[in-house]
Structure 1
């Protein structure tokens, strides 16, 4: 899977010239959406069918600071998937050095109710299970 590249913008930094840590959540969303598009399930496909995927939990471990105009390479992998929850992992590097490790947890909903992905999104669920297995083999 091709990693996502985010170029740190000047406006994403603070007075010290360091990327504000809140931006990493946005970087994760950008990378996750790119990943879904790469596996042929862009987020728009869900929205077109009345399905949303809220973030229910996020954790980040910041290792090194980034600054403008660093290029952050973000590798995304599926850590765990079951019928109701998806956990995505992210490793962010600059010039080969890890700057952040993160995870996000998601569910899928329609009309305010959590859906069973295996039943309502079977192709997507199978793809995620395959990606989870591939990620475990590359660990």
Structure 2
């Protein structure tokens, strides 16, 4: 299993009239966590796209447990629970500064050839980076 955490602060522009983080921002928070996790692995998403591979979202679910508010510092934990193949499943847990879990989510993305729009397997470079996280410790 692979995990990565990032922190981000809820900006004023992210809030609605009630001062809560607008519900539509959570998929953006998920995307930020995905992009930063790839960067931390040493394979920035930009480089993957430059190699001709993209990752469209196929499915997404979001569960709102409690609101985030303006200026809250959020911790977004991204989890890749199984070794990807042609699709990659991500789980998300968002907690506030007090450590309270306020949101969970899941996305499924596919690897796609950007030129043809056809599915492809996970890039070899990414596979080599992820394998150590999914090997059984002996």
> What is the CA-CA distance between 1:2 and the residue it aligns to?
5.2
Q: When the two structures are superposed, what TM-score results if normalisation uses the length of structure 2?
A: 0.87
Q: Which residue of 2 aligns with 1:109?
A: 112
**More relative contact order in 1 or in 2 (CA 8 Å, sep 6+)?**
2
- Among 56, 59, 65, the residue aligned to 2:58: 56
Unpaired runs of 5+ residues, structure 1, are: none
Q: CA RMSD in A?
A: 1.9
Listed one character per residue, the Cα deviations across residues 22-56 of structure 1 (whole Å, up to 9, x for unaligned) are: 10000000011001101111101111111111111
Listed one character per residue, the Cα deviations across residues 47-88 of structure 1 (whole Å, up to 9, x for unaligned) are: 111111111111111111011000110111102343211001
Note the 1:1-139 alignment, pairs <5 A. 3-94=5-96, 95-110=98-113, 111-117=116-122, 121-131=123-133, 133=134
Q: When the two structures are superposed, what TM-score results if normalisation uses the length of structure 1?
A: 0.87
